[in-house]
Amino acid sequence: MISPPMPRRVALISVHTSPLAQPGTGDAGGMNVYVWQTATRLARRGVEVEIFTRATSSADAPVVPAAPGVTVRNVVAGPFEGLDKRDLPAQLCAFTSGVLRVEAMHKPGYYDLIHSHYWLSGQVGWLARDRWGVPLVHTAHTLAAVKNAFLAKGDTAEPMLRVIGEQQVVDESDRMVVNTETEAYELVSMYNADRSLIDVVNPGADLEIYSPGSRSLARAELGLADDEIVLTFVGRIQPLKAPDVLLSAAAPIIERSRTQGRKVRVLVVGGPSGTGLAQPTALIDLTAELGISDAVTFLPPQPSDRLAQVYRASDVVAVPSYSESFGLVAIEAQACGTPVVAADVGGLSVAVADGHSGVLVDGHDVEDWTAALDGLLATPGRLAALAGNARNHAEQFSWEHSASRLLACYSDAMTSFAARNPGSIAAASVRRSARPWRRHRTRV
């Protein structure tokens, strides 16, 4: 029996955001977490991972040994600071040149595979793939056509330039990784992708950091009262994430609670991202307009251990996004034993088990959201039942599982690339790693 090929070294490309950045603000979010979590887990399984990202500070060392087996390479391409994500396409040539130079310092065949994240990285990966003769695996993370089809109130449509760029990457990738079956369908129906080249790999949560714990302790740490009902939003503050929907939906509940002698608080955790109506300052204005300023607490982006306390302190975490390729926040909250009320869009319908670990709401009508939240708060037994199921549901989504699925995808990509390009470096690498099973086992 022949063992499936496994890459010795992967070039992982994440142009627009570094896995070392604090997620929850600017361009840093779920993709950063995804890249970091999968890279460290692949490295633990013996795959060396080199992550190429754009240097955004003169203090960034060109090479950062970030974890055992994981190196971050900060490539200089354009000014360190103040460059908007929309201006990055003009820097792709410089970035690609930086990537190719690193590889040129090594013997041919240094990288066995390229995995690009987001379409900008796909553009780089496509050229490097042709140059190095190794397969390109691509993860889009979000798709412009999907975002435009479900555009949030006050948001600006993604430009045609991005749609075209994404299409090119879809056409050029050897394999593609998506978060859910819904995303696979979107790639096929909107970008005419070949379904047989798509692997569904659910993302996960760090189930050790995000675990149930004492609600009272968490509240004490965050300065929240024990007797308040806490409804929480976590994420980058931008129109797509719709924190304004939660605030508007919570307003009548807060208003009523005042006459009922109970307290309801909304916690908004995260920093500004992009432009638009849902900027933190606009949200602060909205709370004033709604007359709920005293019942809303804003917190800046939190590191993961502190974020776990935020989830534990919350009665409900709301994810009202207009589109979401998965929604890590939803899984993390449930992993801490907190039920989630989420919009029934994209990956959220997989991340939340409707009626079991949370509630899915159709659309963004504020009255529907008020009714969904009210419904839960009025039936503590139901809320407790959802909380009781939340951790179990989240446990299906671990980064270890994601890493296993990625390795299988890499293996398929290497095998089919080698078959199509028998004279390539990748084919030689596949032959080398394709050892008889028994010999491999004896060696282990």
> Binding site for UDP-N-acetyl-alpha-D-glucosamine: which residues?
22-23, 30, 236, 241, 302, 324, 332
CB of 227 to ligand UDP, least distance (A): 25
Distance CA 116, CA 118 (A): 7
- Under rule CB under 6 A, residue 33 binds ligand UDP: yes
Between helix 119-132 and helix 92-104 the angle, nearest 10°, is: 40
CB of 196 to ligand UDP, least distance (A): 27
361 beta partners = 343
Distance of CA 414 to the CA centre of its chain: 25
Q: Which stretch binds ligand UDP (CB under 6 A): 27-35, 78-86, 213-221, 423-431?
A: 27-35
Distance CA 441, CA 444 (A): 5
Instruction: With H, G, I as helix, E, B as strand and everything else as coil, classify residue 8.
Output: coil
- Under rule CB under 6 A, residue 98 binds ligand UDP: no
Q: Cβ atoms within 10 A of the Cβ of 112, count?
A: 27
**Between residue 252 and residue 271, which ones bind ligand UDP under the rule CB under 6 A?**
269-270
Q: Which stretch binds ligand UDP (CB under 6 A): 12-20, 95-103, 253-261, 296-304?
A: 296-304
- Under rule CB under 6 A, residue 328 binds ligand UDP: yes
- Under rule CB under 6 A, residue 119 binds ligand UDP: no
Among 160, 99, 161, 172, which Cα is nearest to 130's?
172
For residue 10, the surrounding DSSP H or E stretch is strand 9-13
Distance CA 376, CA 381 (A): 9
**Site size with ligand UDP, rule: CB under 6 A:** 20
Q: Which stretch binds ligand UDP (CB under 6 A): 25-33, 147-155, 251-259, 276-284?
A: 25-33
Nearer to ligand UDP, 223 or 261 (CB): 223
User: What is the pattern of x (binds ligand UDP, CB under 6 A) and - over residues 178-207?
Assistant: ------------------------------
Distance CA 386, CA 273 (A): 31
CB of 401 to ligand UDP, least distance (A): 16
Distance CA 166, CA 123 (A): 8
Contact 318, 287 (CB under 8 A): no
Among 347, 352, 349, 406, which Cα is nearest to 179's?
347
Nearer to ligand UDP, 23 or 122 (CB): 23
Contact pick of 7, 19, 30, 165 for ligand UDP (by CB under 6 A) = 30
Nearer to ligand UDP, 142 or 415 (CB): 142
Nearer to ligand UDP, 98 or 347 (CB): 347
Contact pick of 69, 301, 337, 339 for ligand UDP (by CB under 6 A) = 301
Specify the length of the chain in residues: 444
- Under rule CB under 6 A, residue 233 binds ligand UDP: no
Contact pick of 5, 7, 19, 23 for ligand UDP (by CB under 6 A) = 23
Q: Which stretch binds ligand UDP (CB under 6 A): 30-38, 53-61, 182-190, 375-383?
A: 30-38
Distance CA 35, CA 196 (A): 24
Nearer to ligand UDP, 106 or 153 (CB): 153
- Under rule CB under 6 A, residue 26 binds ligand UDP: no
- Under rule CB under 6 A, residue 234 binds ligand UDP: yes
- Under rule CB under 6 A, residue 19 binds ligand UDP: no
Contact pick of 3, 167, 279, 304 for ligand UDP (by CB under 6 A) = 304
Q: Cβ atoms within 10 A of the Cβ of 48, count?
A: 18
Contact pick of 236, 265, 391, 393 for ligand UDP (by CB under 6 A) = 236
Instruction: With H, G, I as helix, E, B as strand and everything else as coil, classify residue 64.
Output: strand
Maximum pairwise Cα distance, the chain: 77
Contact pick of 247, 307, 361, 418 for ligand UDP (by CB under 6 A) = 307
CB of 123 to ligand UDP, least distance (A): 20
Distance CA 122, CA 289 (A): 43
CB of 301 to ligand UDP, least distance (A): 4
Which residue is at the shortest CB distance from ligand UDP?
A: 29
Distance CA 408, CA 396 (A): 18
Contact 377, 253 (CB under 8 A): yes
Residue 129, CA distances (Å) to 96, 236, 272 in order: 11, 33, 35
Edge-to-edge, what's the strand order for the sheet holding 340-343?
Answer: 296-299, 263-269, 228-234, 316-319, 340-343, 358-361
Residues that bind ligand UDP (CB under 6 A): 23-24, 29-31, 33, 234-236, 269-270, 301-302, 304, 307, 326-329, 332
